[in-house]
Structure 1
C-alpha cells in the first residue's frame, strides 16, 4: 500500500535541511529571472494600457450602449422569416456549398504541396523554404480580403466566395498537413525502404497511411469553421446567407435577421455534432 500524500509531505519537510545543504543550487532564489519576468509583465500591461488609450476605449461608452443593445434584442423577438423561409433556406444551402467546395478545393491542392514542405520528404532546405513562404503568403491574407479580390476578378456571387475560402485555407491546410507529415512515425517508411521500395513507395505506403486520419480530421474541422466564414464573406457580396443578413440589419428588419442568426446557429451546431462523430470514427475515441 502506497504512502499517503500527507506522510510523504511531512517526511520531505523533516528532511528539508539536508536537501538544502546537498542541493543548494535547486533552492537558491533566481532573482534575475524573477526581475525579467516582472519587467515582461510591466511591459505587457503598459502595451495593453497604451492600446486601450489609442483605441479610445471607454467603459462609460460601453455602459451607455448596453441600453441600446437591450433595445435591439427586444426588437429581434420573436424571430420570424415573415414569408421568406424558403428563400433563406436556399441561401443557407448556398453558404454550405461555398464552405464545402472551398474546403475541398483547398484540401486537394494542399495535400501534394504539404509533402514538398515537409523536412522528412524534401531534404533540400531552399526548396522547403520557398514552399513554406508561399504557404505563409496565402494564409496571411484573411478570407475577407480574398473575397474582395475574387469579387473584382470573377464578379459577385458564391463562386467568388468558394475561391476566397480555397485560397485562405490552402495556406493554412498546407502548413498543418506538412507538420503532420513531419511528425509521422518514421518506422513504417524505413520498413518500406528496407524492403526495396523507392522514395515514392516510402511516401505512398509509409507516410500517407499514417497521416491520412489526422489530415481528414483537420479538413472536417476547417469545413465546420468555414461554414461561419462563408456567412461573413457573404456580407461583402460573395454569395450565401450573409448577403441577406447584412441587408436586413441595415433596414432594421431585426426579426428576420434574428431568424437568420438562429438558422446559422442550428446549422453550425449540427455540423459540429456530425463532424465530431466523424473525427472519432476516423482517429478513434480520443478525438474531441
Structure 2
C-alpha cells in the first residue's frame, strides 16, 4: 500500500514538527559551518591573501616560467656527469633509507599487532613509539643529522630511515592485524609452534601488502629525496637549489624534467614488480 502525495502533505500540515529537524540539530550544524567559515576567513586575512597579491604573484610566476624555456641542453659529458651523479645519489638515498627503515620496522610491527602481542602495555607503548617517530618530519631529521654527521648523503639516508621506521611499523602492524585467523588455526591444529604460525599462517597473507607498501614508499622517498638535497643532505636537490639560487632557470627546469622522468620510470617499474609478486603470492601469473 503506497502513500499518496496529498496524504503526505496532509500529515505535514497536521504535524509539521515531525518533518523538521530538531532545533538543537540545526543550531549545531549552523555553528559548525559558521565556525568553519570564520576560520577560513581568518586564515585568508592573517596570511594576507588578497586578489592584488595573487595577481602580482601570477605575473611573477609567468616571468619565472618564461626563463625556463627553452630548457637547457648539456652539450658535454663534463657538464652532464654531475647531474647524473646527483640523480643516482638521490636514488641511492631513497633505496637505502627505505630498506633500513623496513628492516628495523618489520620486527617492531609484530609488537604493535594485537593478534600477535597480547600484552596491552607493551603493545600500546610500541604504538605510541610509532607516533612519536612519525611526528618528526624527514626534513627536520635531515637538519639534525647534518649537524651531527656533516653534509652529504649519510644524513639524508639516516633521516629517511628513521622517518620510515614509524611509518612502516604502523602500516605493517595494521596489515598483520587484518589477516585471517583461519590459516593460523590450521597451523596450530597441525602442531605448529608460535614461530611457525607466524611464518606459515600470517606471512603468506601479509607479504603482498608489505611489498606493495615498500614499493610505494620507495617511490615517495625518491621524490622527497630531492628536498633533502636542498638542505645539504646529498642528491640532485643540492644541484637544483644551486641552479635556482644562481637564476639559471633553464638549467633548473631541465633538472626538474629529469627528476620527473626518473620518478615516472620508478613508478612504472614498481607497478610491474607489484603485479608480478602479488600474482605469485596469489597463485596466478
Instruction: Give me the TM-score of the superposition, normalised by structure 2.
Output: 0.88
Aligned: 1:155 with 2:150: yes
- Does the Cα contact within 8 Å between 1:237 and 1:243 map onto a contact in 2? yes
Match of 1:60 among 48, 52, 58: 52
Q: Deviations over 1:132-169 (max 9, x none)?
A: 11111111100000101111111110111111110111
Q: Report the Cα distance in structure 1 between the residues aligned to 2:4 and 2:186, rounded to whole angstroms.
A: 54
Whether 1:74 and 2:69 are equivalent positions in the alignment is no
Against the structure 1 CA distance between its residues 187 and 12, is the aligned structure 2 distance closer, same or farther, given a 3 Å change threshold? Answer: farther
- Structure-2 residue corresponding to 1:37: 29
Q: Which runs of 5+ in 1 are unaligned?
A: 1-10
Structure 1 segments (4+ residues) deviating >6 Å: none
Aligned runs of 1:56-205 on 2, under 5 Å?
A: 56-82=48-74, 83=76, 84-205=79-200
* Alpha-carbon distance change, 110 to 13 in structure 1, aligned in 2, over 3 angstroms: farther
Shift of 1:123: 1.1
5+ residue gaps, structure 2, are: none
Q: Measure, in 1, the Cα distance between the counterparts of 2:255 and 2:195.
A: 49
Could you list the per-position Cα deviations for residues 57-88 of structure 1 after superposition, in whole angstroms to 9, with x for gaps in the alignment? Answer: 22311111211111111111111144422210
Quick check: 49-58 or 132-141, which moved more? 49-58
Report the count of equivalent residues. 271
Summarize the Cα distance change of 1:13–1:167 in structure 2 as closer, same or farther, 3 Å threshold. farther
Of the three residues 248, 253, 257, the one matched with 1:253 is 248
Matched-pair contact (CA < 8 Å) for 1:217–1:282: no
Q: Pick which of 91-100 and 54-63 moved more.
A: 54-63
| Aligned equivalents of 2:193, 2:6: Cα separation in 1 | 60
Range 229-238 or range 265-274, more displaced: 265-274
Aligned counterparts of 1:153 and 1:168: Cα–Cα separation in 2: 17
Indicate the residue corresponding to 1:48 in structure 2: 40
2:257 pairs with 1:265: no
| Compared CA separation, residues 186 and 253, structure 1 to 2 (3 A) | same
2:201 pairs, out of 206, 212, 233, with 206
**What SS is found at the alignment partner of 2:219?**
helix
Indicate the RMSD between aligned Cα atoms, in angstroms: 2.4
